[in-house]
Structures are given as C-alpha cells and as structure tokens.
Amino acid sequence: MLAKTVLVAGASSGLGRAVAEALAQDGHTVYAGARSFAAGQEPPAGCRALALDVTEEENVRAAVETILREQGRIDALVCCAATFTMAPLEELPAETLENMLRVNLIGMSRCVQAALPPMRKQGGGHVVLFSSLNGLFSIPFQGAYCVTKHGVEAYGEALSQEARRFGIRVTVVEPGDCRGGSQKYRLTHIERHSPYAAAFRQGTDKIHHDESHGLPPERVGRAVARAVGKKHPPARLIVASPVQRSAVWLHHLLPRKLFNRFISAYYFSSKEV
C-alpha cells in the first residue's frame, strides 16, 4: 500500500481523532486539522497539527496550501468536522440551525473546494465525507443534525458524479452510534415549560444510552483507513451494529408512516409523551 498525504478536518476528538490515528498507524502522512490545535491541544498520535476552522474560507485554503508546500500533493481529504444540538424542531433557534449548517455542510464544502483543484492537477484523489445513519433516516430531537447529514448524502452523491472524470473518488461514511464523542460539540436546547419536556427526556435518555453502548470510535477509524488505502474505495461505508443496520433496511422496506411509528415506539416508551 502506497503512503498517502491526508488532511483530516475535525480531528481533535471523537471519530475524527480516531480516523487520523488509524491513518497515521497505516503509514500515511496525516495532517490533523481542528480549531483547538491553535490553542496548543496535542494532535492525534503520529499526526501533524493544523489550526483549521472550517467556517473560515481563508483559513481552509491556507491549510491546504501548507500541505502542498510541505508535501507537494494531497491524496485524500477526510471531512469529520461537525457540531450537534438536540432540540424539538419547534423550539430550535434559527441561529443554531444556521451554525450547524455552517459547520456540518458548508464547512465541509469549503474543504472540498480547496482540495479538489490540486487533486485534479495531480490526476486523482479521494474525498471522504462523514455523514451518519441519520443521513439516511431521521430520529426525534436530532432533526437539525439529520438535516445537515441528509445534505452530506446529497452533496457526496453529486460530487461523485462530477469529479469521477478527474480520477477523484468519493466515499460517504455512515457511522452508527459510537462512544466517546466530545460533549463540547454536543448540546441540548429546550424551552422552559416546554410541551415536549417529557418526550425530550425519554428520547434523549435513549439516545445517550445508545451512544454510551455504541461502537468504539477506533472501529470507524480502522474502516476509514482501509477505505483510504484501497485503489477502488467504496462509494458508501456503513459502520454500525447489526441492530442499527436493520433500521436502515426497515427505512427502505416499510411505508413511511409505519417506519415513523416504529421509531416513535423505540424512543418513547409510554403514551404519556
């Protein structure tokens, strides 16, 4: 396997950090990008730290230029940067949704637009975009996050169609619940005396339980590292437990009304909510 030069955006914690470490373990030259590295946070083992804010275009372009100056090429881009707020959609502040879109979708697009020109010039490359199982179906109180990840799915599909002629391959990663994500980027919002309060408590308790019992992030890291190392990487990469994979199948098979009932029964245990 040839060693590659890889930029991982959003590599300070969680899945992004696990991906960066797995790539470095495989012998790739990995630039780990995150805002927190500007404040002196230690990068993932074996990686080079880049202060990277995906919401700032000039910062993103400067990061790519640093890699090109030092390595002469960029073989793969992995976009992991994301933020997350759980809230009833009725009560979600518009600015919160705007911020999630700015990081999760527009920030991703900004990284892609900076990396594609050198990839085209060198005759190929690999773009890895982090979606989620929630990019395939939605769940309660994660609606805003699901919106951003559905956007990643659409973006990745169109990008693959457009960039393939230049030798650039696109992989959309769809992880299920994983342990160990940074709570700094996982927030909640609910109004005082909200009519959703009881349902929100039940639903978010279930979400926290599933995440705390989810896959280790290293498993996702290894799966992505294997994909980056392939000559013909997959267009889609689901990394999830069999139970969560079954939810994807049910979403495809069941009428939407029946699937929504199934999801409601999973997250809400009583009719009181």
Residue of 76, 211, 25, 213 lying closest to 132 (CA atoms): 211
Task: Say what the pLDDT of residue 183 is.
Answer: 57
Q: Which residues contact 237 (CB under 8 A, 6 or more apart)?
A: 171, 172, 173, 174, 223, 224, 227
What does the DSSP assignment read for 237-250? EEE--HHHHHHHHH
Distance CA 86, CA 186 (A): 8
- What are the tokens at 52? 């990277």
266 is an active site residue:
no
Does residue 12 have an active-site annotation?
yes
Of residues 13, 31, 145, 267, which has the active-site annotation?
145
Contacts of 267 (CB under 8 A, 6+ apart): 139, 140, 202, 203, 206, 207
Q: Which domains does the chain have, with CATH numbers?
A: 5-267 (3.40.50.720)
pLDDT tier for residue 245 given thresholds of 50, 70 and 90? very high
By mean pLDDT, which of 111-120, 159-168, 178-187, 259-268 is the weakest? 178-187
Active-site residue, selected from the candidate residues 4, 131, 196, 267? 131
**Does residue 145 have an active-site annotation?**
yes
Average of per-residue pLDDT values in the chain? 94
Catalytic residue list contains 131: yes
Place of tokens 């009719």: 271
Does the structure show a pLDDT above 60 at 184? no
Q: Residues 4, 13, 31, 149: which is the catalytic one? A: 149
pLDDT number for residue 179: 86
Read off the pLDDT of residues 128-160 as tens digits, 9 standing for 90 and up.
999 999 999 999 999 999 999 999 999 999 999
pLDDT confidence of 65, banded at 50, 70, 90? very high
Q: Are 137 and 248 in contact (CB under 8 A)?
A: yes
Distance CA 208, CA 187 (A): 12
- Which of helix, strand or coil describes residue 32? strand
Mean pLDDT value across residues 227-246:
95
From the list 4, 12, 31, 155, the catalytic residue is: 12
Mean pLDDT (whole number) for 35-54 = 91
